[in-house]
Amino acid sequence: MAEELPDWMLHAFSEPRLNRYLRATGGDAAAATRLYWWNVEASAALYGPLHCLEVTLRNALHDRIGQRYGADWWDAFPLNGNGRRLVARARRKCEERGMRSVPADSVVAELSFGFWASLLSRGYDRRLWVPILHRAFPHYSGRRGVLYDSLWSLVLLRNRVMHHEPVHHRDLAADHAKIYRLLGYMSPELVKEIQALDRFPSVLARRNGPDSRF
């Protein structure tokens, strides 16, 4: 299959990587090339909304837990084993950059989207969600588990985007709507600002429109 693709593309991106796009387009090299570039463009367009969701989430959760346990709340709150490892890793990264005394804000910035989403998992329901974290979503009245599942699906999307993996096979329209829905639970004002800059609807329209060639 891959021999139909340009040599420069095979050398730049690798045959195993490009074969996934060939399979998605039934072996049509021209369509696979267009799909590859569309995947790059779609990932770039999703980056902005995902960026805002991740940063807003971590600040909302950090602020709420910090009100109860202090700025370095991870030292006072009994995180599970994985949570403690992630905090320790975040601190090490800060120390490796020459920080002698690591401020809480630096640790917050180093902790992953997955870490913050995990604070809404079932294991923390009674210790975090019920007493504290439901207040981080003032415009949400549903169940914690539904919120967690939605966030975790976007953690997986974010990881694919950031690691340059295919996202074209996902229901990206639903993913995009989900990002805004979750942001709206925290800050409806921010939603309006992001939408004014969001390129993703036009990118998606080029794939789903009548002139789509992949």
Residue 98 pLDDT: 85
pLDDT at 1 > cutoff 50? no
Sorted by sequence, the CB contacts under 8 Å of residue 114 that are 6+ apart come out as: 152, 155, 159
pLDDT band of residue 207 (cuts 50, 70, 90) is: confident
Say how far apart CA 6 and CA 30 lie, in whole Å: 10
Q: What is the pLDDT of residues 146-193, one digit of tens each?
A: 999 999 999 999 999 999 999 999 999 999 999 999 999 999 999 999
Look up the pTM and report it.
0.93
Find where tokens 């009245």 sit: 141
3-state SS string over 91-106? HHHHHHCCCCCCCHHH
Cβ–Cβ under 8 Å, residues 212 and 168: no
Give, in order, the Cα–Cα distances in Å from 180 to each of 41, 46, 78: 19, 11, 31
Sorted by sequence, the CB contacts under 8 Å of residue 84 that are 6+ apart come out as: 74
Q: What is the pLDDT of residues 36-68, one digit of tens each?
A: 999 999 999 999 999 999 999 999 999 999 999
